[in-house]
Structure 1
């Protein structure tokens, strides 16, 4: 994690400086453009803002109409990841297409972005046809012939434009702070007096309780969907289960009567049979060389790191009919910090629930199959 504590120890706030520079730059621009040039530029800025807002509204409405139709169409394709080795291009295709089919927020975001770009281009062309010549001059260089009074009035108009731009920056920061209240950057943003004034007196009254009420729910939904997309990547990548892995998984779980018993038997086997590959870690830390390996490589060599343990466990679990996920995030290092880590979650029909397990840590002692407070040592990717 990045330590930003040095920012708090400084006597100035970079957020406030950014806002001041935003306003100052607009004032100087207005002064040099003159009154008429600044007025033209300010109106053009408002027109562009209006086009952007209208484009977002139309794209939002369009997504609500189009998204269900696209989901139905994708389901009609009956996309099934083949249980054979496929090329990287096909892996990417199945990951993207099945993710768009199964994950509504991702589908919504992609369609919204595409719709926004297309609609904005159309509206820009319409505006250019109506106001083309006038708008074409909005960024024209000043000819230097305007009077001092014109420069002063231009500066005044520029200051208004600057405040509008500063409020736009504050609005973006306000959304970030609301979505990520526990971020390391959030306290620093909130320590800016200029941000506080703009957020409390303008942005917050304008939005009311909408963002405060909806943002946490939206954030949790995004986190969950992002985790599912990462999981889909490994599902596609490891769709083909080699015969030797499948045979071994069936032999290991032959005495397992329930999903939980089978999942525990595989957890113990992977954790005790695979050795942690410290040379692989050293190679990456010292030379930034990552030794990619498949679950079959891990099975054959009996060596790997956490992601290798997790991918092998996932393949073995699927071979005996268990639903399983590969989860990535941060794991407690035992020294007060956290580092990149991977583990699994397996679905148990008996309890109708997903339970976590960490086969990498099995050999270190203790029970890491659905122990209490698992989330205190494991933090999912966000």
Structure 2
């Protein structure tokens, strides 16, 4: 073991050097403090760890109980007023709707708040019960520590250093589990100190939780975070301008079914709106993104894919259609895929969602065509 550690240090593995330095620094601290002060620090370290574990044990079930109740309240509180929203109101309602709609996000926020409050209250309770004894014991100075005291302090310091290194190894273990093919992960795994700590401590304690379940959980969290970014359009576009609603009503006045309504709106948006190549050029060359509302697209008759999709969604919703804006990647005609946006509409008569792409309407039939998914790769829906 020591030979492998030595070879790793000589090879300049930064992870090995970092972990050994943590232990060495803690050992040096223990030597300087002596047995009494080191013991006090260890007691404080262990006491704080126990408080945090108790905080976790209380806050997790409390948050599980509170989260659904908070979700119901937030759902009612996030009802959008029937008027144009100020910028700060858009942020407020986006946050409320995100917390109401995404249970993992809501749980995370409530957990962090409850955990911080519970740990604070536990620390306050401990301080009231034992007064300042722990603080005095942990900070008492030992001006002339004897050699045995220093040796004992160094031993305690080494124990604390090992505990600190395990915490670092646990963090690295989570990163490696989430990014197994990354170059940094392979660099971490090349450290024998990391390998032995992970195999001896982290893997037995975590079981399959980190390696198997955490990546799935993290992907769910990522999906929710992406969904939060998309929620802003639902808030921004909730107020349907009168002109857009009247136009949509005129377009679908002869339609009898949801599919006929959806098709007529698809034909209107696809034929009336022109692709704004200047907007794309401005972004590609100067990285300037010209944000526009569905009203802007309706007035100028210009837009890119997200503008087509947002205008279509607003017109469809004004006629009581259930519609979604989908973002992902679309086939670029050159063997690759690029960022794209389109729509999905729910046909209540058939009880199914169908895809449509008003941006591509002038190049062919992209209203629920066969093999639509071969040219469109869905990533997010809002």
Which bin holds the TM-score, normalised by the shorter protein? 0.7 to 0.9
Task: Report Cα offsets for 1:236-294 as digits up to 9, x if no partner.
Answer: 11101112222333344456554445444444543454344344344445555443221
Alignment check: 8 A CA contact 1:32 1:142 kept: no
Match of 1:205 in 2: 204
Alpha-carbon distance between aligned partners in 2 of 1:162 and 1:226, rounded to the nearest angstrom = 36
1:4 counterpart residue number = none
Aligned-partner Cα distance in 1 for 2:356–2:242: 24
Say if 1:231 and 1:327, in contact at 8 Å, map to a contact too.
Answer: no
Q: 1:362–1:159: structure 2 CA closer, same or farther, 3 Å change rule?
A: farther
**Which residue is 1:86 aligned to?**
85
Other-structure match for 1:61: 61
> Which runs of no fewer than 5 residues in structure 2 stay unpaired?
1-10
Following superposition, the deviation at residue 295 of structure 1 comes to 1.1
Could you tell me the TM-score, scaled by structure 1's length? 0.78
SS in 1 for 2:291: coil
Could you report, residue by residue, the CA deviation over 1:343-362 in whole angstroms, capped at 9, with x for unpaired residues?
Answer: 44433335544455444455
Give the C-alpha shift of residue 15 in structure 1: 4.4
Q: Structure 1 residues 140, 283: closer, same or farther in 2, change over 3 A?
A: farther
TM-score (normalised: structure 2): 0.78
Question: Shift of residue 318 of structure 1?
Answer: 1.1
CA distance in 2, matches of 1:103, 1:379: 19
Q: Check if 1:71 corresponds to 2:71.
A: yes
Describe the shift of the 1:109–1:254 C-alpha distance in structure 2 as closer, same or farther (beyond 3 A): same
SS at match of 2:325: strand
Residues 154 and 237 from structure 1, CA distance in 2 versus in 1: closer, same or farther, beyond 3 angstroms? same
The equivalences for 1:215-364 within 5 A come to 215=214, 217-254=216-253, 256-284=255-283, 287-328=286-327, 341-362=340-361
Structure 1 segment 123-138 matched on structure 2, within 5 A: 123-136=122-135
Superposition deviation, residue 370 in structure 1: 6.8
The count of aligned residue pairs is 371
Structure 1 residues 162 and 90: alpha-carbon distance in aligned structure 2, compared to 1, 3 A threshold: same
1:117 matched to 2:116? The reply is: yes
1:44 corresponds in structure 2 to: 44
**Closer, same or farther in 2 for the Cα pair 1:38/1:303, shift >3 Å?**
farther
Check 1:285–1:121 CA distance in 2 against 1; reply closer, same or farther (3 A cut).
farther
Larger radius of gyration: 2
Partner SS for 1:86: coil
In structure 2, C-alpha distance between the alignment counterparts of 1:340 and 1:173, rounded to whole Å: 33
- Asked whether the 8 Å contact 1:83–1:241 carries over to 2, the reply is no
User: Over aligned residues, Cα RMSD in angstroms?
Assistant: 3.8
In the other structure, the counterpart of 1:6 is: none
- Cα offset, 1:233, TM superposition: 2.2
Deviations 1:275-323 (A, max 9, x none): 4434434444555544322111112112233432332222122122222
Query: In the TM superposition, what whole-angstrom CA distance separates every residue of 1:190-217 from its partner, at most 9, and x where no partner exists?
Result: 5554443333332222222344554355
Contact 1:355 1:370 in 2 (8 A): no
After superposition, the Cα gap between the structure-2 partners of 1:38 and 1:237, relative to the gap in structure 1 and judged at 3 Å, is same
Q: Is the 8 A contact 2:177 2:211 kept in 1?
A: yes
The answer for unaligned runs of 5 or more in structure 1 is 1-10
- Given that 2:77 and 2:96 are in contact with CA atoms closer than 8 Å, whether structure 1 keeps it comes out as no
Q: Is the 8 A contact 1:361 1:368 kept in 2?
A: no
Residue 347 of structure 1 aligns to a residue whose secondary structure is: strand
CA contact (8 A) 2:40 2:138 kept: no
Counterparts of 1:363 and 1:185 in 2: how far apart (Å)?
47
The structural deviation recorded for 1:118 is 0.6
